[in-house]
Structure formats: structure tokens, C-alpha cells
Structure 1
Amino acid sequence: MIKMANKNSKGFKYGAAAILTAVIVIIIAVVVNLIVIKLDIQWDLTTNKIFSLNKTSVDFVKKLNKEVTIYGLYDNTKAEVGDQNAILNELLKQYQNASDKIIVKYVDPDKDPAIISKLDPEKTKQIAKGDILVSCGKKLDVIPANSITYSQSTQYGQDTSLMVENYLTTAIKRVSNEKTPTVYYTTGHNESIFVDEFNQIKVAVEAGGYYTKALNLQTEPKVPDDCETIFIMAPKSDLSNDEGKKIQDYLDRGGKIFFAFDPVIPNQNMPVFDKVLAEYNLSLNYDKVKEGDDSRYVSGDPNNLLVALESNAIFGEIPAGQFALNMPNSRSINILKAKKEALEIVSLARTSEKAVGMQVDQSKGKDINGPLDLVVAAEYSGGTQDSRILVWGNAAMFNDKLLTQNTYQILAVCMSWLIQNKDDMGIPPKSLNFETINISETNANITAIILIGAVPLLIFGLGTFVWLRRRHL
């Protein structure tokens, strides 16, 4: 004979309460899961937020009033968790979620070889598999697959950063704008080849939303009107008087110039460059800097300087040791004592007092005692428009072979000050290096046994104990 439970007994009440609680928990879990699935709610728990868009990107794409299409030239279905394509898939999804003007398409050139010719019929973009393309109307921007991440060797190993968000948001800005400003680099003075030796700078400038073009002032009647700034990188010969006048006219119209000079060879003069710089109370020293403080140069090479940027009006307060630069074979910049109204000069980096500027040509005078200025910024606000120049006593440090992450970041800050473009993206890279916990195989096995076996058994045992206790109440 089956004995019915007394509805008023404590056991029945506890059992009913437990069942009701379980049902409620299950219902809540189901409802929450349905809401999460329906709204596609996700949480980015990575330290560097590599699966999330920077606020700058979100704010910009939300304001788009034109349709922009992003093409991923790879098979997005083969992306594995943690690899580059998987990260790209998630970032592109975030762009779509941020704006209904963003359309994302994936095309594998192996399956559809005609897509490259269709998107670039003139074959001027050098498109390849793995690239990201951004299109709006007739404008097309290409983000090469090899620039999506940036790696450099450090004393702790390989440091890899994700660069693609800055490039993507900048490309969206560039193709959706009616006009795109241009940054020019000079030729004709035996400068280092910009697109070959300083390609990373070219990429960084273009990531800021600008086109880059060569400028030969020997043939051009003037600096073009669409010029946002000029790069003059490691010239080995002087400007002509006519070129100097064109440069000065450009600066008088509110121009901006980035100068980078390496030490010169003996008997080499640059009086026209000095004449241009003199308008900002600056001149070139014809020296090669040798550091006397052994804590401020690479061991064994006093000409390979280690320089920490100083707090200043451009960068603000800089904590000690931050933004340290490696400057091999530098020359110093002379700040003239003359005063000029509406002219502000800021030294961004200098040597120690123990440094010496060794004259390359002894006929120019004695060696120069430190401290020596290595990087100087100047702004003149007395004209119809403000003009700015940055003068570096080193161009080699910007070479692709020597460019460090610190130098890259400083370059971005310098460009932001030099051009002062309010629309400049300036989205910092995100490190793809994660901290890991290393444990032995034995400890890994013990951990697995505890998590997979012991913990579930413990929970089951506690549940059984509680059930038996309640059954006899």
C-alpha cells in the first residue's frame, strides 16, 4: 500500500519549495539566454579589449551619412578562435553593430578570382588575398594584410600589437570625406627614399587619414594648396634659393614641416635650410653627438643615444622613463638667443651635460658642450595663419629597420601637434600578448582531476546529504 505524503509535513514543504525554486531558476536561465541570443549580447573579457571598438571609432561611424562597404578578402568561415581572421571577424561585426551605414562583405579571392579586378580595374592598388578594403562611392582604400598587426623583438620576446582598428576607422573617414588632405615628402636632395626606407612612417601617416605624395620643388611652381604638411627626411644636399623661397612662402601661409637631419659629411653646408630655420630662431649644428653619461647610450657605443622625452607644452607631463627613444648617430639643433615676438620654441629631447657635439668639420669651430638639443618644436603665431615646424637631429631612427614602438607612438603625437587636425583618429594599437600561467604536467593533471572529478563528486555528495536529511524531517 502506497503511503501518501502529508501536505502539512516539513518534508513535503521543503521538497515542494526545492522543486519550485529549481523550476524558477530554470525559467530565469532560459529567458536570460533567449534575451542574450536575441540581442546578441557579448562581453569582451580580454585585458586589452581586442574584440571591442575604441570609443573614437564608435563615435565616428555613428555619424556616417554615407554607405561604406568593408570587404574582407579571406574565407571568414575558416577562422579559428584566437587567430587573426577570428579577431577581424569580431571587429568587423562591431563596426556593423555601431552603424547601419556599414556593410561588411567577405570574399575569398581563391573562390572568386574576379573580385580583385572588379574592385580595382585599373590595378593601381596592388590588392592581395587577406587585405581589407574600404569603399564608398568611387573611393577605395586598401589595408594590406601585413599591416593588420605590428611585431617587434624586445628583451622579453616578440611583442605583437593589433593595428587594424586605427587603419579601418581612418580608411572609413578617408573614403567618406569629400576631400582628403595630402602629406608630401620632398625629393631632389638625395633624401632617403621615403616609400622604401620610411615605409612605416608612410603607413602611419596614411593611417591618420592622409594621402602621401612626392614633391619636387625644383619642378613644381609652389607647394600645392592641398598640402597638409611636408616631410623632409635626411637631405644630403641643400635647397636651392628658389626652393627655399617656395618653402618660406608655404610656411607664411600657415604651413607645417617635419624636418629630420642626419649628421653631414665634411665640407657640406646647408645655408638655405639654415635660412628657413632661422625664421624660427633655429639653426643646424654640423656635429655628431657623443654622450658622456653611460646610462644614456647603448653599451659600448656613445653615439647611439638613449633619450627620454621631457615634459613640455606639447606632450604635457611625461612620467620618468616613458617614451624613451633610441637615436643612433644624431646631430644637435641650435636654439638661437635672438628673441622674436609670437614665436614659441620647445625643446622636446636633449642630451646630458656630459655630452659633446663633435664637429664633423673642425673648420666650423670647436666641439659643443652639452646639454645639446636633439628635437625642437617651434610655432609662429604672428602671421595670417599659425605655422609650425618640428626639427629632429636624427632621421635614421625613423628607418623601417630601426623604428621602435615608442618612436612610432611619439611620431603620432608629433603629427597630431604639427597638423592639429581635430578629425585625426589616433586610435592606439592593442597588444596581442597575454599573460600566461606556466604549470608542470603533473600539476596540470592534478588540476584537471580536481575540476573534472573531485568538484562534481563533492557537489553531488553534498546534494545527496541534504536530500537524505530533508527526507527524514
Structure 2
Amino acid sequence: MTRKLKKGGYTAILSVIVIAAVVLLNLIVGRLPEKVRQWDMSSSQIYTLGGTTQDLLRSLDRDVTIYVVADPDSVDKRITSFVKRYEDLSDCIKVVTVDSVLHPDEVKKLKAQDNTLLVSCDSTGRTESIALADIIKMDEMSYYYYGQSKETEFDGEGQLTGAISHVINDAEKTVYFTEGHGEAALGATASDMLKKSNLTVNTVNLLTGGSIPKDCQLLLMNAPASDLANDEKKMISDYLDGGGRVMILAGYSEKDRPNLNALMNDYGLNLENGLAADTKKFYQNNPYYIFPTIQAGSEVTNGIDGKSAALVLQSAALTQKEGLPEGVEVTPFMETSDGGMVVTADKQTQGTYILGAVSEKTLSSGTARLTVFSTPSLIDEGLNTSFTNLTNLTLFMNAVTTNFDDVSNVSIPSKSLEVTYNTVTHGGMWGILFIFVIPVVTLAAGLVIWLKRRRL
């Protein structure tokens, strides 16, 4: 064997070893969990699963299959990578890809739609379908006006966690929103969060309907501008006396609402006449834009970080009656600071005022529960869209779901895909340093070096 042939043989053997090592490494890496193979480097942490999802997956005791029904080549890689993270966190989760192009019969057998995630639980027989377009949301107006496709939100965790919670639970709960008193419309975000927690939302006009529907498990009034009729007040009182659940987002109104206030008085709360303000904890020099004090120890505030903030605007104020009715216990969970006040046209009354409270009444047959927020701005669509880091919606959803023993708050808001820029709003000395000092020093040093080299 010549030396040249021997050298070529060593090279060939070495090449085979390297190729085999690369193939083996790829096989090993391919079997690693998705969270290990792909780190979440996105600015809004779209691949990171929050505590609510992790708690749900850890407690799973029923098998759930997530079918990715689409042409695999057309599915956004962010979605497939995200879905696999659920499989990594629970042995009860299985992800199956169904190629809708090659296997249309299998799609038909599953009764699925193309370009969807189908979440299925065999033990309950329930399924939930999620359109891929509902996960990565687009700005339709941008395309309409400018002809450009612009991504706005990634709602993978909210949609998928809500769907899993829905298919594993047998219980269905119905929430009725009242109409006929100038109530504010429920925003898209709040409606979406109620749906994610598997709550069916309907509306009811008590005056024309004549009664509270029998399947109503929570009656909710959102910013009634006018008062309850006498018949309506009696209906709600009777519903509560039968162990019912009622939530009121009262809000400030220039109209007198004696029946509404009388309903609250029966449960130890009084709606003050005037606007709430806070001279110590407010936003942008406006004492009517209040950062409320969140009280620990309430079911409504469970899981809320003490460093996070809620914001309420143009709020009414509540106080607790000195002599509580028999069997009634009031638990405030949101208040002004001691710099709070109620402002009317002719006076200002200082004190600490309640902005949110739960009142429970012990009955012979169970417990009645009345939850009152003093402001509907808590779920205002514009406010929560502008300030995505507020805990407003979490407080609202906690208040809703704590009315049910077998419903948890699994409502997770979508994450922004908007491009964020590092901007110094008030530079001060830092602005002077980076705009003037550093450039001048750099130019001076360069000039000195240039002069020295020129003399050599």
C-alpha cells in the first residue's frame, strides 16, 4: 500500500467518524426537550410558560392530546415550538401532527378544521379547536391602509391553557350580564378572558325577562348608569338569599341609585355620593387616577405580586357600615391610601375608602356572596390596552372565579409582538454624558493620536 493511499484511507475513516458523530449528536439533540433545544430569547418571552400554566400541567390527571392540524410546512415555527413545551412539562400531554394535505381523511375523522390546534381529552369526550390565526394576531387595519402585514400579539399560552382547562373539566358555568340600566359594554379583552376560564357569558334584562335565569351562577352588573327598579331589586335580593352570587362594578353616576345602594347596604356596604380621589397614590398629577392599595389575605388578591400595580379612574367610593347586618362579613381587598377623599360639588371628605370588597352572608342553606368594585374602569379596554402591566384584569378574573369552587382563573393575556425600542425619556445627566461628553472625548483622543503619529 502506497503512502498516498494510506493517507487517503485515514482521511476517509476520519470523515466517516466525524459524519457519524454529527448524526449521533443530532439524534441526541432531537430527543432533548424543546425548552433545552431552544432558549426563549424573544423580547416578550412568548415561549415562557407562566405559573398558571405550570400549575395546571402539574395537576393534570387526565390525558390530553394536542393535534396540530395543518400542512407542516405552512405552520409558523413559533407555534410548533411553543406547543411542544406543553408536552415537555407533563406526561399527560401528547402532541400529534396531522398533515391536512397528505391525510385529509384523518382530519375528517377527527372532525377538525384545517390550520387549527385541536385539543382533545378522551376521558371527558370534550374537544376545543383553536385557529392558528388566533394565536399570532395581525393588525388588519395596517394591511387595509398600508398593504403591510403587521403582527401584534402572540396568544399561544392564553388560548392553549384555556383550551386544556376546558376539555378536562366537566363543569360548565354561566355568567349573566344585566341590561337595561345603561350598563357599559364588556370589552373584548375581558370577554376573551372569561371565555378562557370556560365561562359562558349571556345577557339578561331583568325587567322584561321577569326573573333571573335558573342557570345563572353569577349575575354581573357593569357600570349601571340608572337605578334598579323595585322589582329588580327584589329579584336580586331573593337570588342572593337563595345562596346566589352577584358582582357589581358600580362606578360613579350623577343619578341617584337608592335601590342599588340599598342592595349593598343589606350586605354591609355603602356607596358614597361623590368621586373618589387619592392625594398620595395617584398617576400623573391627577388624584382621580388612583393606584389602589391591594390588601393581602383575600381570595381576590391571591397570586398578585405586591410590587405590581392596579389603576382605577374616575371611581366611586365605598364605606363599610358600622353595624353589619346579622351573618354578614365584609372583606375589603382594594382601598385608597389614608390620603383618600370623596369629592362632591361642595365638599371634600378625607379618609380611607374601599374600592373593592367581598361581602358574604351566612344562610341556613349556604352562603350568599356579593362582590363590589367601585369602578368599571378596572376592565376598561383602552386602559388595559395602554397599560399591559397592570393587575386590573387579574383582580377582575380572580373576583369572578372565586365565586365557583371548581373554576380557576386560567385567563392569560396575550403577549405583544410589537417592536420595543430602548428609549430614555428623561435623560438628564445621562443624556449630557452620551450626547456631548463621550463624543467630545472620543474626538479629542482621536485628534491627539493623529497628531502624535503625524510627527513621527
* TM > 0.5: yes
Of 122, 145, 148, 2:133 maps to 145
Work out the number of aligned pairs and report it. 382
Q: Secondary structure at the match of 2:322?
A: coil
Percentage of identical aligned residues: 22
Quick one: which amino acid aligns to residue 387 of structure 1?
A
1:144–1:200 Cα change, 3 Å: farther
Q: Give a deviation string over 1:154-198, Cα, whole Å, max 9, x none.
A: xxxxxx87442232232344356555211111111111122xxx2
Letter in 2 for 1:305: I
Aligned counterpart, 2:6: none
Partner residue, 2:79: 88
Alignment of 1:233 onto 2:232: no
Shift of 1:326: 1.6
Find the aligned partners of 1:343 and 1:422 in 2 and give their Cα distance.
24
Runs of 5+ unmatched residues, structure 1: 4-21, 80-84, 121-126, 152-159, 438-473
What is the deviation of 1:199? 1.9
Q: Which among 28, 39, 50 is matched to residue 45 of structure 1?
A: 39
What TM-score results when the alignment is normalised by the length of structure 1? 0.66
Letter in 2 for 1:145: A
Superposed displacement of residue 285, structure 1 = 0.9
Map 1:155-170; keep pairs closer than 5 Å: 162-170=154-162
Which of 281, 303, 313 is 2:268 aligned to? 281
**Partner deviation per Cα, 1:357-401 (whole Å, 9 max, x = no partner):** 1126x6xxx543222211122222334122222211111231211
2-side partners of 1:228 and 1:103: how far apart? 36
Aligned residue in 2 for 1:352: 337
* Aligned mate of 2:166, from 174, 178, 186: 174
Partner of 2:370: 389
1:387 partner SS: strand
Q: Partners in 2 of 1:316 and 1:170 — Cα distance? A: 19
Distance change >3 Å, CA 239–CA 432, structure 1 → 2: same
Contact 2:340-2:350 at 8 Å conserved across structures: yes
Give the aligned CA root-mean-square deviation in angstroms. Answer: 4.5
Q: Which amino acid aligns with 2:276?
A: V
**CA displacement at 1:222 relative to structure 2:** 2.7
Identify which of 400, 405, 422 aligns with 1:415.
Answer: 400
Distance 1:311 1:176, change over 3 A: closer
Which segments of structure 1 move beyond 6 Å, counting only runs of 4 or more? Answer: 22-29, 135-139, 428-437
CA deviation profile, 1:250-275 (whole Å, cap 9, x unmatched): 2223222221122111xx22121122
Post-superposition shift, 1:146?
5.1
- TM-score, with length taken from structure 2: 0.68
Query: 2:97, 2:219 → 1: CA distance?
Result: 35
Counterpart AA for 2:193? A
Q: Could you report, residue by residue, the CA deviation over 1:332-359 in whole angstroms, capped at 9, with x for unpaired residues?
A: 0121111344432122222233332112
| Match status 1:55 vs 2:67 | no
**Inter-CA distance 143–62: structure 2 relative to 1 (3 Å threshold):** farther
Q: 414-423 or 97-106, which moves further after superposition?
A: 97-106
Q: Is contact 1:174–1:210 with CA below 8 Å preserved after alignment?
A: no
Flag the structure with larger Rg. Answer: 1
Specify the alignment match of 2:317 in structure 1. Answer: 332
* 1:221/1:253 CA distance change after superposition, 3 Å: same
CA distance in 2, matches of 1:139, 1:161: 25
SS in 1 for 2:401: helix
Q: Alpha carbons of 1:70 and 1:144: their partners in 2 closer, same or farther (altered >3 Å)?
A: closer
State the distance in 2 between where 1:105 and 1:199 align.
32
Between 1:170-179 and 1:26-35, the stretch displaced more is 26-35
Gaps of 5+ in 2: 4-14, 140-151, 423-456
For 2:83, the aligned partner's letter is L
- The answer for the alignment partner of 1:220 in structure 2 is 209
- Residue in 2 that maps onto 1:189: 181
The residue that corresponds to 2:147 in the other structure is: none
Which moves more between the two structures, 254-263 or 161-170? 161-170
Distance 1:372 1:260 in 2: 16
Q: Which amino acid aligns with 1:190?
A: G
- 1:467 aligned partner: none
